[in-house]
Amino acid sequence: MGESTTTLDILKDLIRIDTQNPPGNEHALVAYLHAWCERLDLDHTVYSYGEGRDNILIRMGKPKGRNLVVLGHMDVVVADPESWCSPPFAGEVKDGYLYGRGTLDMKYFIAASLSTMETLKQLESLLDRQVVFLFTADEETGSAFGLPRVLEEPGVAELLADSVVLNEGGGFALFKDGSCHYLYETGQKSVGRLRVSVRRLADSNPYFPSMEHERIMVEVIDRLQGLQIDTSIPDTVVSLRKAFMDHSCGDSKLNRLIDTMSSSMVTATMVEGGSRNLKLADDVKVQIDFDCRLLPNVEKSEFEKKIETALSGLPVTHELLRFSPGYEARIDDALVELLTGVLRRHEPEVDKLLPFITPGSNDGKYLRSLGCDVVGFAPLAKNQTFTDIMPLIHGVDERISLESIEFCALVLRDVCIEYLTGDSYHG
């Protein structure tokens, strides 16, 4: 971690620290960040919950006006080395890409943050506002050891309240008719987990199978995956469809992506059955779990009524195991102008910065109740479009282009400088 350390060098180091979750162990990565803070003499605090489940909060600047928060998670999903062309925790560079679990989700943003800290330290006397870098544990499996716990610590919620938050989930290029647009996340879908159980029919007999349970299972999946849910469309979705759908019919990948971002979806993800399946209750023949990603205007009660109606007449029971409400937010125009201006400085081809509601879920939702403006903006270079990176996130051979690493570091640096010095932002 010498003076000549590049963002690429930092990211290689971070990838080589195995933070797979499960089981989850962010301690070694926090030790790396702690050493970075010690070298730069940065104010920082480590919060630990359980063995190896560490979080770190770092702050710089003066507490004046709205703070800027740079939020990231340190854990990554599990990677099977047998499926990869390179070891997922080796941090190898091939053909202009850095391979490794977490390169896109989301250690590149942490690496860019560390590079930014070095620059900000040199400009510390010029900072008119405060920036908080917050890197958390356990985002990939529900955040039980991460951000919600950190927010319960004395003074943390007050520190973060009413902040502008830069988070994962956006900053990706999409092309329409040759024009380059960048997306920034302003909302998240609601996330639900639904379980439907097909009851054992009274006249069923394993020696004379009728396949009736299987027929019911298929009918349940067909009805729920074809469920028409949206009664109204959020403004963000309307604008996104207007910008892309009429012109993208020849690009199947883009069509699928826009549809995913602008529709509610219920998808069967796990089916369990069989007469000898000990996981099932005695009166249950088949159990189906559904992943539900709903546009934020869909209320929980409304969704439950639609499920009830869809399954009417079938010998099944259902339970909504979990429901996490989504949100749609409008971001201050001045902040959007700042982000757009910095993007164009480093990529003049950028036409517009467009808001979208992410099809996924992340820790940004925990800061909404504190009055924060949460923006998904961790930009990648235009050579890695949104349609390109989506299959790689949580996927095999996850990788980031070398251009994207440098691009993110430069854009994040300039956004922080302009926001914190007050020269270009007066929100």
List the CATH number of the domain containing 201: 3.30.70.360
Residue 148 and residue 198 share a domain: no
In a domain? residue 258: no
d(CA 75, CA 52): 11
Residue 135: both structure tokens together = 């890197």
Residue 196 and residue 155 share a domain: no
d(CA 385, CA 106): 16
209 contacts: CB under 8 Å, gap ≥ 6 = none
DSSP symbol at 104: I
Per-residue pLDDT, 2: 47
Q: Which residue has the tokens 């990788």?
A: 399
**97, β-bridge pairs:** 94, 401
Instruction: Give the domain extent around 201.
Output: 190-229+264-324
In a domain? residue 377: yes
d(CA 171, CA 176): 16
Among the three residues 276, 297, 324, which one is the final residue of a domain in this structure?
324
In a domain? residue 235: no
In a domain? residue 211: yes
3-state secondary structure at position 28: helix
Count Cβ neighbours within 10 Å for each residue of 374-409 and write b for 16 or more, e otherwise.
bbbbbbbbbebbbbebbebebbebbbbbbebbbbbb
If we measure between CA atoms, which residue out of 155, 74, 138 comes closest to residue 147? 138
Residue 358 and residue 308 share a domain: no
Residue 66 and residue 31 share a domain: yes
In a domain? residue 256: no
3-state secondary structure at position 128: coil
Residue 319 and residue 220 share a domain: yes
Residue 70 and residue 127 share a domain: yes
Q: Can you say how many angstroms the Cα of residue 26 is from the centroid of all Cα atoms in its chain?
A: 18
Q: Which amino acid is at 133?
A: F
Residue 99 and residue 167 share a domain: yes
306 contacts: CB under 8 Å, gap ≥ 6 = 227, 229
d(CA 399, CA 416): 26
Per-residue pLDDT tens, the chain, 427 aa: give them: 445 689 999 999 999 999 999 999 999 999 999 999 999 999 999 999 989 999 999 999 999 889 999 999 999 999 999 999 999 999 999 999 999 999 999 999 999 999 999 999 999 999 999 999 999 999 999 999 999 999 999 999 999 999 999 999 999 999 988 899 999 999 999 999 999 999 888 766 665 666 788 899 999 999 999 998 877 788 998 888 888 866 555 678 888 888 888 899 999 999 998 777 878 888 899 999 999 999 999 999 999 999 999 999 999 999 999 999 999 998 999 999 999 999 999 999 999 999 999 988 899 999 999 999 999 999 999 999 999 999 999 999 999 999 999 999 999 999 999 999 975 444 4
d(CA 199, CA 216): 10
Whole-prediction pTM value? Answer: 0.92
Orientation angle between helical segments 333-346 and 402-421, nearest 10 degrees: 140
d(CA 69, CA 71): 6
The structural domain count of the chain equals: 2
Among the three residues 305, 324, 343, which one is the final residue of a domain in this structure?
324
Residue 162 and residue 64 share a domain: yes
Q: Which amino acid is at 305?
A: K
Q: Which residue has the tokens 């010029």?
A: 126
3-state secondary structure at position 18: coil
Residue 163 and residue 34 share a domain: yes
**324, β-bridge pairs:** 191
Q: Where do the DSSP E strands lie in 241-283?
A: 265-273
If we measure between CA atoms, which residue out of 129, 105, 123 comes closest to residue 11? 105
Residue 133 and residue 160 share a domain: yes
> In this structure, are residues 283 and 198 in contact, taking their beta carbons and an 8 Å threshold?
no
In a domain? residue 257: no
Residue 164 and residue 129 share a domain: yes
The Cβ-side half-sphere exposure at 114, using a 13 Å CA radius, reads 30
In a domain? residue 111: yes
| DSSP secondary structure letters along 386-397 | HHHHTTTTTSTT
Residue 191: C-alpha distances to residues 197, 219, 272, 290, 294 (Å): 20, 23, 22, 11, 7
d(CA 166, CA 100): 23
Alpha helices by DSSP H, 21-125: 27-40, 108-122
Residue 398: C-alpha distances to residues 88, 107, 286, 390, 392 (Å): 8, 12, 35, 10, 5
> In this structure, are residues 98 and 15 in contact, taking their beta carbons and an 8 Å threshold?
yes
Residue 206 and residue 353 share a domain: no
In a domain? residue 427: no
373-376/164-167 β-pairing: parallel
Among the three residues 324, 349, 374, which one is the final residue of a domain in this structure?
324
